[in-house]
Amino acid sequence: MSRGQRIWKMLTGRKYRQIVVGVGMFSVILICAIFAPLIAHQDPSFYDVPNRMLPPSSAHLFGTDVFGRDVFARTIYGARTSLAISVSVTVLCGVVGIFLGLIAGYFRRLEAVIMRVMDALMAFPNILLALIIVAALGAGAINVIIALALASIPSVTRMVRGIVLTVKEQDHVAAAKASGAKTGRILFFHIFLLCISPITVILTLILATTTLAEASLTFLGVGLPPELPSWGNIISDGRTYISTAWWLTVIPGFAILWTVISVNVLGDGVRDMLDPRLRNL
Amino acid sequence: MLNYTIRRLISLIPVLLIVGFVVFIILRLIPGDPAAVMLGPEATETQIAALREKLGLDRPIFQQLVNWYSNMFRGDLGDSLYYRQPALAVIAQRLEPTLLLMVMSLVISLAIGLPAGIIAALKRNTFIDRGLMIFAMLGISTPSFWLGLNLIILFSLSLGWFPATGYVPIADGGLFNAMWYLFLPAFSLGFQYAGEQARVIRSSMLDVLSSDYIRTARAKGLTEKSVILIHTLKNALIPTLTQIGMCIARLAGGAVVTETVFNVPGAGKLVISAINKRDYGLVQAHILLVAMVYVVVNLFVDLLYKVVDPRIEYK
């Protein structure tokens, strides 16, 4: 078997198959986002009123909206907006959630305070919490990111704390302490590095739910500003005309579906690879 | 058990205090003077001052917080500025379609999710299992508002089987008619949870099926039917309880989106219009109510665990 064949076999084998499918599907969206101007030739914000509400054709693959804007271009550029928001939220959640989780798990005194705040935040359904925060702070990309991150941080914190509680009782941590390692070093090298696989899994989950939540918020009109091409906006714009121009709502929705499926499949794959015991879960 | 119940009830207090605190803080996050923001640009100075006094915004922040708590625990969640009524009363008037929608979504999600998960687990690694799990993946990945719009296009506008939007209260058209109006909304909301339920029940079935006592049950010659129904299913359903508990809060969040899509005049739609009208008193009361229900439902689920599964010991 040549090297190429071996790699092919490995990638299509049981262990990596889901990851390969997930990464492949996600790459399509990523490429759309990065190379948006090359893929969509029309300007997503160009008002071409004489050509409004056109059905899908070779000139306008997904048709045109009520202002004559090309829906294909808007959907492709929408990938930029959606990914930028959901990736920022996931990174923010990761950084803050891991930090709070490590502290809550390691320092008993801070645990009660941090965890009760997290319990309280968990009690708000994430879309409602995001809704009220955006309502208070005002619409806009940064506020949407803050709101969605706040809604998802508790699940990361809870999970990291849970692992820290078991890991910190292990012998290697005691050994590190005995040999005089500083607390920061113990937390990072001896505890955090052991949490990486479950963190990866939960962060992919957050990426998926955030993509859905951002689209829902924007659809409700309390998320991103209407002129920004985003999937929630496009569907919300098309909604008024569903009886005459169904394509304006149906087609862009597939972009959300595709992205969320790709991330979920990737998440399942990563989980199975990192921890075969969880394969059935 | 009694001890545990009491301790859990006591532990609710800090959570509720913090839940109240979070909502209190959010109202203060509004840039500028909340009273001026709420009254809009045409308000006069005296009106703003009057509202500030009414909301207690002219008092020191600590006193405001104490006031807020004492009102909260007396069940006074503030007034709706737009409707000029206690916020809870306004919400209560709109609760019927929302509750019915939530119940129907839950029933639909269980009716689809449970059998799908059970069959997938029993037919593990077959074509049927793969098919059902792809279906479940579609469920958890489909934006419910988009699914709702697609259902309207297909079943209302093209086929004309269901009304596209709106709601007729039970008192006016009967329960059946109300459910007919809410079927599409409930399906679009429930489909997502059906996917989740299917995945949870499948994994917990597989977990139980690989345990020793199932092997024993088979070894002592029990029929496959009693192994599955009595030994496996009863135990495998326990994680589903947690899932249902968590679902209830998220259904309340999901209802906001679904009610907007289907134009159902429920509590969720009320919140969206309250946000647009800057009626923060109403928004505040609604979110606080949902959070409290979530906390109480989850306590109830935890206690129910003990009843369903006597093996669980609470220390």
**pLDDT tens column, B171-186:** 787 788 788 888 899 9
Digit-coded pLDDT (tens) for B94-140: 888 899 999 999 999 999 999 999 999 888 888 998 999 999 999 99
The predicted structure's pLDDT at residue A274: 76
CB count within 10 Å of CB B13 equals: 10
Inter-CA distances, A25 with A20, A30, A82, B183, Å: 9, 9, 15, 33
H or E segment to which residue B51 belongs: helix B45-55
List the single best residue of B141, B197, B242, B271 to mutate versus A (max A Cβ within 10 A). Answer: B141
CATH number of the domain where residue A54 is located: 1.10.3720.10
Digit-coded pLDDT (tens) for A7-48: 887 777 777 888 888 899 999 988 888 887 877 777 777 777
The predicted structure's pLDDT at residue B116: 93
Q: Which residues 6+ apart lie within 8 Å of B252 measured at CB?
A: A125, A128, B98, B102, B268, B290, B293, B294
Q: How far apart are CA B160 and CA B178, in angstroms?
A: 17
Q: How far apart are CA A78 and CA A71, in angstroms?
A: 10
Q: Is the pLDDT of residue A279 over 70?
A: no
The predicted structure's pLDDT at residue A275: 67
The predicted structure's pLDDT at residue A281: 41
Is A279 a domain residue? no
Q: A261, A154, A279: which is closest to A208 by C-alpha?
A: A261
The predicted structure's pLDDT at residue B214: 81
Confidence of residue A270 (pLDDT cuts 50, 70, 90): confident
Task: Using CB atoms, pick whichever of B137, B250, B292 lies closest to residue A125.
Answer: B250
Confidence of residue B312 (pLDDT cuts 50, 70, 90): low
Residue type at position A120: A
> What number is the average pLDDT over the span B275-290?
81
Q: How far apart are CA A147 and CA A126, in angstroms?
A: 9
The predicted structure's pLDDT at residue A75: 85
The C-alpha R_g of chain A, in whole angstroms, comes to: 22
Is A210 a domain residue? yes
Q: Is the pLDDT of residue A192 over 60?
A: yes
> What number is the average pLDDT over the span A152-164?
89
Residue type at position B66: V
Q: Which residue range forms the structural domain that includes residue A209?
A: 3-274
Are the C-beta atoms of B166 and B181 separated by less than 8 Å?
A: yes
Per the model's pLDDT, the better-predicted residue between B228 and A58 turns out to be B228
Domain positions in chain B: 18-92, 95-265
Name the token pair of B175.
């329960």
Q: Is A119 close to B18, i.e. CB distance below 8 A?
A: yes
CATH code for the structural domain at B95-265: 1.10.3720.10
Q: Is the pLDDT of residue B161 over 80?
A: yes
Confidence of residue B154 (pLDDT cuts 50, 70, 90): confident
pLDDT over 70 percentage in chain A: 95
Q: Is the pLDDT of residue B170 over 90?
A: no
Burial of B25: CB neighbours in 10 Å, binned 0-12, 13-18, 19+ = exposed
Distance from B299 to chain A by nearest Cα, in Å? Answer: 12
Is A281 a domain residue? no
Is A150 a domain residue? yes
In chain A, which residue's Cα lies nearest the Cα of B151?
A: A250
Q: Is B275 close to A265, i.e. CB distance below 8 A?
A: no
Range of weakest confidence among A177-181, B82-86, B118-122: B82-86
Is A235 a domain residue? yes
pLDDT over 90 percentage in chain A: 13
List the single best residue of A243, A247, A266, A280 to mutate versus B (max B Cβ within 10 A). Answer: A280
Give how many domains chain A has, as a whole number.
1
The predicted structure's pLDDT at residue A94: 93
Name the token pair of B69.
């708590």
Are the C-beta atoms of A197 and A276 separated by less than 8 Å?
A: no
Per the model's pLDDT, the better-predicted residue between A20 and B250 turns out to be A20
Residue identified by tokens 């399509």 is A28
Q: Is A280 close to B202, i.e. CB distance below 8 A?
A: yes
> What number is the average pLDDT over the span B36-64?
78
**E strand spans, chain B:** 79-80, 85-86
Are the C-beta atoms of B149 and B255 separated by less than 8 Å?
A: no
Name the token pair of A179.
């040999």
Largest CA distance in chain A: 77
**CB contacts, 8 Å: B267 with chain A:** none
User: What value, to the nearest 5°, has the Cα angle with vertex A114 and ends A207 and A217?
Assistant: 35
